[in-house]
Amino acid sequence: MSDYLVRAASRPVVSGIMRALRVPTPVSLRRANSPFAPDSLSHRRILVGSLDSARLDRKIANVLQSGDADVTKAADVTDDQTAVFDGVVFDATGIADVAGLTALYDLFNPVARRIASCGRIVILTDTPASMDSAAASAAAQAIEGFVRSLGKEVGKFGTTVNAVYVEPGADSRVAEPLRFLLSDYSAFIDGQALTVSADGRAPRSVPTSATLAGKTAVITGAAHGIGATTAKRLAAEGADVLAVDVPANRDALDAVTDEIGGAALALDITGAQAPAELADFCATRYGGIDVFVHNAGVTRDRSLANMSANEWHQVLAVNLQAAVAIDAEFDTRKLLRDHARVVCMSSVGGIAGSRGQTNYAATKAGLNGFVRARADAQRNRGVCYNAVAPGVIETSMTAAMPLAVREVGRRLSSLGQGGRPEDVAEAVTFLSTPGAGGLSGNVVRVCGQSLLGA
List binders of ligand NAD among 58-117 (CB under 6 A): none
Nearer residue to ligand NAD within complex by CB, 378 or 395: 395
Annotated catalytic residues are: 360
| Residue 297 binds to ligand NAD (criterion: CB under 6 A) | yes
| Residue 245 binds to ligand NAD (criterion: CB under 6 A) | yes
Q: Any residues with CB less than 8 A from the CB of 206 and at least 6 apart, and which?
A: 175, 176, 433, 434, 435, 437
8 A C-beta contact, residue 433 and residue 176: yes
The helix-helix angle for 250-260 and 225-236 (nearest 10°) equals: 20
Provide the 3-class DSSP secondary structure of residue 47. Answer: strand
Nearer residue to ligand NAD within complex by CB, 26 or 390: 390
Answer for which of 26, 100, 158, 225 binds ligand NAD (CB under 6 A) is 225
Segment contacting ligand NAD by CB under 6 A, of 5-13, 136-144, 222-230, 235-243: 222-230
| Residue 448 binds to ligand NAD (criterion: CB under 6 A) | no
| Residue 453 binds to ligand NAD (criterion: CB under 6 A) | no
| Residue 397 binds to ligand NAD (criterion: CB under 6 A) | yes
Provide the 3-class DSSP secondary structure of residue 74. Answer: helix
Answer for which of 27, 154, 239, 296 binds ligand NAD (CB under 6 A) is 296
Extended strands (E) in 282-428: 289-294, 336-345, 384-390
Biggest CA-to-CA distance, the chain: 67
| Residue 450 binds to ligand NAD (criterion: CB under 6 A) | no
List binders of ligand NAD among 298-357 (CB under 6 A): 298, 318, 345, 347
Q: How far apart are CA 419 and CA 388, in angstroms?
A: 13
Minimum distance from CB of 249 to ligand NAD (Å)?
Answer: 5
Q: How far apart are CA 128 and CA 137, in angstroms?
A: 4
Answer for which of 158, 177, 191, 227 binds ligand NAD (CB under 6 A) is 227
Could you tell me the CA-to-CA distances from 71 to 43, 56, 68, 108 in Å, in that order? 9, 15, 9, 16
| Residue 396 binds to ligand NAD (criterion: CB under 6 A) | yes
- Residue 202 DSSP code: P
8 A C-beta contact, residue 62 and residue 178: no
Extended strands (E) in 101-209: 115-126, 160-166, 193-196
Nearer residue to ligand NAD within complex by CB, 154 or 425: 425
| Residue 415 binds to ligand NAD (criterion: CB under 6 A) | no
Segment contacting ligand NAD by CB under 6 A, of 104-112, 209-217, 262-270, 303-311: 262-270
Q: How far apart are CA 393 and CA 313, in angstroms?
A: 25
Q: How far apart are CA 449 and CA 188, in angstroms?
A: 8
Nearer residue to ligand NAD within complex by CB, 51 or 246: 246
Segment contacting ligand NAD by CB under 6 A, of 94-102, 127-135, 177-185, 263-271: 263-271
Nearer residue to ligand NAD within complex by CB, 239 or 424: 424
Q: How far apart are CA 183 and CA 174, in angstroms?
A: 14
Q: What is the DSSP string of 365-406?
A: HHHHHHHHHHHHHHGGGT-EEEEEEE-SB-SHHHHTS-HHHH
Minimum distance from CB of 348 to ligand NAD (Å)?
Answer: 7
Count residues near ligand NAD (CB under 6 A): 27
Nearer residue to ligand NAD within complex by CB, 89 or 371: 371
| Residue 359 binds to ligand NAD (criterion: CB under 6 A) | no
Answer for which of 143, 218, 243, 246 binds ligand NAD (CB under 6 A) is 246
Count of other CB atoms within 10 angstroms of residue 169: 11
Nearer residue to ligand NAD within complex by CB, 174 or 253: 253
Nearer residue to ligand NAD within complex by CB, 182 or 387: 387
Contact residues for ligand NAD, defined by CB under 6 A: 220-221, 223-227, 245-246, 249, 268-270, 295-298, 318, 345, 347, 390, 392-393, 395-398
